[in-house]
Chain A
Amino acid sequence: MPRSLLLGFITYGLLLAGIATVRGEFIALALPLVIYLLAGFLFSPDTVNLEATRHLSAERASPGAEVTVTVTVVNRGDSLDEVLIEDFLPADLTLRPSTGSGQRFGHTGHLIRLRKDSSFTFSYRVAGPRGGYGFESVRAQVNDFLRTTSRTVELEAKGQLFIFPPVTRLRHVAIRPRRTRVYAGMIPARVGGSGTEFFGVREYQPGDSPRAINWRASAHHADADMLYANEFQQERAADVGVILDGRLRTNEFSRGHSLFEYSVQAAAALSDALLAQGNRVGLLVYAAFLRWTIPGYGKFQREKILFSLAHARPGGSNVFADLEHLPTRLFPPESQIILVSPLHEDDLSPLVQLRARGYQVLVVCPNPVKFELSYLPKNKNVELAARVIRMERAILLQKIQRAGIQVLDWDVAEPFDQVVKRKLSRPPGFLRSTH
């Protein structure tokens, strides 16, 4: 109930009582209330004209990093006796305790007096987990000094903050897609030419560098009176499709634990490394719905992929419960596909189909068994269950590998860059054949 309404009812009640009983005392009782109401109305501002602007110290941040939000409210209308300013934080962002010595720091709500054409600036620090956050408006409640009148206005003060997943720097990721693009890159193209990796020996031709002459081979065939030259493998850019598995059934575990953040971290690191190698990289987030980032090159594409990863959330749907509905048409034929997924036993068949279509497939698999064991109590039942599941998983991974798919089984307790350095800095034996 508005204060002026309550006061009005009581005042008019007393006045009516005075009239009805012909008693001046009732009128006398009502007089302080009348004066109070009048004073409130008299000093209430006629026009409220406030403007707000917002500034963020950074629009892109890493998880947990503090970002300073500065809001300035300017009064373009009448002087305001009492303004209650409140800024609302997007969900999941948390206010960090004030460490600055400056005034007006560390709080989202302020009660102030704002004179005509004056401004008020306040700041606070926020931090949060990976995601995209939008600041919309600031709420200002304008009261007269007795709060007999009160007006609430929403002041538009937009701002956006993207908290990108942490990007682990990977030195080199060795991939060998069957087909490469025409542009120079770092992926061996299975075609002879200039490069760094040995490809074969052929007859020396005019124009070949004398350094390329293979003297040993030439000496072996001295009677033929011919020179032989080493040929190197051409290195080109490749098309890479990174698929991030965000299905609830593979990522979510008991007691609210999730492997999804690790998968996101791996996808970010791999995309970054492959883009740095000059490849064309696209990202598909496969969760409750598909989120596709069109393939591209360079830093701009890196930003787009990180933006997509910032918004990635695990989700479940009947349609995308398994990998059967993976839209393979998004990926160029015979290109490299990297699936980041803890894997489910039903995923074997779709993966084999992918391989059969000519894609070179690498599965980066955060190990769910070791992950679950890290927080489950250690007893005989858990150990027995873990042993059974570990065996089932080993069989699944073996089957996948037998289909010619490279698997990186990642114990998330170990840093991703170390695992990649050990297992992905060189292509596996079955892919090293150049022909």
Chain B
Amino acid sequence: MTLIAFVLSVILACASLAYGFSQAGMIDPARWFVLLGIVWILSHWRKLYWVSSLAFAIAILGAAYGVWNNFTTIWMLLGALGGLLGWDLSDFARRLSYAAPTDDIRGMERRHLTRTAIVAALGFGIALLSLVIRINRLAFEVAVGLVLLAAFGLTRLVIRLRKH
């Protein structure tokens, strides 16, 4: 179950990025993303789990590059999200490899995939919302201040949540 979800995530990440890049006429980088997906899946099969972190970082960099060059944002967002899911599931599969065959692997997989799907859907939804909603009358200084405030608030929130 996890393996299928992992492969689908990698396909989502690489195909989205490749499609987004090819739409912008960058065929060679699009091929590189397809190759990245293949290498990622093969390395997971060979239990080279560290490759997953690298591939995730490359996917995010690729998405950021695409956003920087005004490629279709939705594909870049899907690429980043797929990369995140692939990275998470690769690590989860590694953890599952330590489980004994008699452990409740099915139950753990089911719970993990459900929760991860919820988190991914929530993240994607909020990100999509942020793309749709646009506030035009906002000074740059105010925007910067809000972002810094958000970062500070996030950090405080995390600290507070961890304390409780």
- B4 close to chain A: CB less than 8 A: no
Grouping DSSP codes into helix (H, G, I), strand (E, B) and loop, the B interface class, with mixed when no group exceeds half, is helix
Contact pick for A22, options B104, B140, B154, CB 8 Å: B140
With both beta carbons as reference points, the residue of chain A lying nearest to B92 in the complex is identified as A147
Q: Is the CB of B99 within 8 A of A26?
A: no
Are B95 and A35 in contact (CB-based, < 8 A)?
no
Q: Which of B58-97 contact A (CB under 8 A)?
A: 60, 63-64, 67-68, 73, 76-77, 80-81, 84, 88, 91-92, 95-96
- Please give, as numbers and ranges, the residues of chain A lying within 8 Å of B105 by CB-CB distance: 111
Task: Judge whether A374 is part of the interface by a CB distance below 8 angstroms.
Answer: no
- Cα A29 to Cα B123 in complex, Å, equals 9
Binary interface encoding of chain B residues 100-114 relative to chain A, with 1 for a CB under 8 A from any of its CBs, else 0: 111111011001100
Q: Please give, as numbers and ranges, the residues of chain A lying within 8 Å of B67 by CB-CB distance.
A: 23, 25-26, 29
Would A38 and B158 be within 8 Å (CB), given that A19-B147, A110-B103, A143-B95 are in contact? Answer: yes
Complex CA distance for A42 and B160, rounded to whole angstroms: 10
Q: Does A14 belong to the interface (CB within 8 Å)?
A: yes
Question: Do A145 and B127 touch across chains, with their CB atoms under 8 A apart?
Answer: no
- Contact between chains at B99 and A109 (CB < 8 Å): yes
> Does residue A395 face the partner (Cβ distance < 8 Å to B)?
no
B161 interfacial by beta-carbon distance below 8 Å:
yes
Q: Compute how far the CA of A143 lies from the CA of B143 in the bound complex, rounded to whole angstroms.
A: 36
Chain B residue, CB-CB nearest to A4: B158
Stretch of A100-108, A171-179, A281-289, A340-348 lying at the B interface? A100-108
Complex alpha-carbon distance, A26 and B80, angstroms: 11
Q: Are A36 and B123 in contact (CB under 8 A)?
A: yes
B158 with A1: CB separation less than 8 A: no
Segment 95-123 of A: residues with Cβ below 8 Å from B:
103-107, 109-113, 122
Determine if A105 and B77 form an interchain contact, defined as CB atoms under 8 angstroms apart.
Answer: no
The docked-state distance in angstroms from the alpha carbon of A147 to that of B53 is 14
> Total A-B residue pairs with C-beta atoms closer than 8 Å?
142
* Pair B119/A147 contact, Cβ less than 8 Å: no
Chain A residue numbers with a CB within 8 Å of B53 are 1, 6
Question: Is B126 positioned at the interface, with any CB of A under 8 Å from its CB?
Answer: yes
Taking CB atoms and an 8 Å cut-off, the chain B residues in 11-70 that contact chain A are: 53, 56-57, 60, 63-64, 67-68
- Cross-chain contact B84 with A33 (CB below 8 angstroms): yes
Q: Using known A-B contacts A10-B60, A38-B157, determine if residue A29 contacts B127 with beta carbons closer than 8 Å.
A: yes
Q: Are B60 and A84 in contact (CB under 8 A)?
A: no
- The answer to whether B119 touches A28 (Cβ under 8 A) is no
Given contacts A1-B53, A27-B130, contact A17 B108 (CB under 8 A): no
Name 11 extra pairs, CB < 8 A, besides A24-B130, A110-B100. Answer: A3-B91, A6-B53, A21-B68, A27-B130, A28-B128, A28-B131, A31-B123, A32-B126, A104-B100, A110-B99, A112-B104
Interface of B toward A, CB cutoff 8 Å = 53, 56-57, 60, 63-64, 67-68, 73, 76-77, 80-81, 84, 88, 91-92, 95-96, 98-105, 107-108, 111-112, 115-116, 119-120, 122-124, 126-128, 130-131, 134, 140, 143-144, 147-148, 151, 154, 157-158, 161-164
- A-side residues, CB < 8 A to B, are 1, 3, 6, 10, 12, 14-15, 17-19, 21-29, 31-39, 41-42, 44, 46, 81-82, 84, 86, 103-107, 109-113, 122, 143, 145-147, 149
